[in-house]
Amino acid sequence: MSNIFPKDFLWGASTAANQCEGAYMEDGKGLSVADILASDPEKGFRIETASIEPDKFYASHKAVDMYHRIDEDIALMKELGLKGYRMSIAWTRIFPNGDDDKPNEAGLKYYDHVFDELKKAGIEPVVTLSHYEPPLHMTEQGGWSNRKMIDCFVNYAECVFKRYKGKVKYYLTFNEINCLQVPFGIMTAGGIKMGFHDPENTEQLRYQALHHQFVASALVTKKLHEIDPDAKVGCMIASMLQYGLTAHPTDQFLALSHNRMSYMFASDVMIRGYYPGYALRYFADHNIKLEKEPEDDAIIKEGCVDFYSCSYYMTNCISTKEHAEELGIEATSGNLISGLKNPYLNASQWGWQIDPEGFRYLLNQIYDRYQKPIMVVENGLGARDTLDEDNSIHDDYRIEYLKSHVESMEEAIKDGVEVIGYMPWSAIDLIALSTGNIEKRYGFIYVDLDNFGNGTGNRYKKDSFYWYQNVISNS
- d(CA 377, CA 367) in angstroms, rounded, equals 16
DSSP state letters, 365-395: HHHHHH---EEEEE----B-----TTS----
- Is 407 among the catalytic positions? no
What H or E segment, with its residue span, contains residue 309? strand 307-311
- Contact call for residues 310 and 237 (beta carbons, < 8 A): yes
The torsion angles phi and psi of 236, rounded to 5 degrees, stand at -135, 115
Kindly report the length of the chain. 475
The torsion angles phi and psi of 127, rounded to 5 degrees, stand at -110, 120
Q: Is 308 helix (H, G, I), strand (E, B) or coil?
A: strand
- d(CA 235, CA 267) in angstroms, rounded, equals 7
User: What's the N-to-C CA distance of the chain in angstroms?
Assistant: 6
- Contact call for residues 246 and 325 (beta carbons, < 8 A): no
- CB neighbours of residue 153 within 10 Å: 27
The torsion angles phi and psi of 287, rounded to 5 degrees, stand at 55, 40
* Active-site annotation holder among 378, 400, 411, 418: 378
DSSP assignment, residue 441? B
The torsion angles phi and psi of 416, rounded to 5 degrees, stand at 105, 5
Q: Among residues 275, 289, 266, which one has the least CA distance to residue 205?
A: 289
Strand intervals (E) in 203-261: 232-238, 242-244
- CB neighbours of residue 4 within 10 Å: 13
- Contact call for residues 105 and 167 (beta carbons, < 8 A): no
- Contact call for residues 74 and 468 (beta carbons, < 8 A): no
* Active-site annotation holder among 21, 133, 176, 411: 176
Cβ-count burial of 426 within 10 angstroms (0-12 exposed, 13-18 middle, 19+ buried)? buried
The torsion angles phi and psi of 145, rounded to 5 degrees, stand at -75, -15
Q: Name the packing angle between helices 105-120 and 148-163 (round to 10°).
A: 50
- Is 378 among the catalytic positions? yes
Q: Indicate which residues carry an active-site annotation.
A: 176, 378
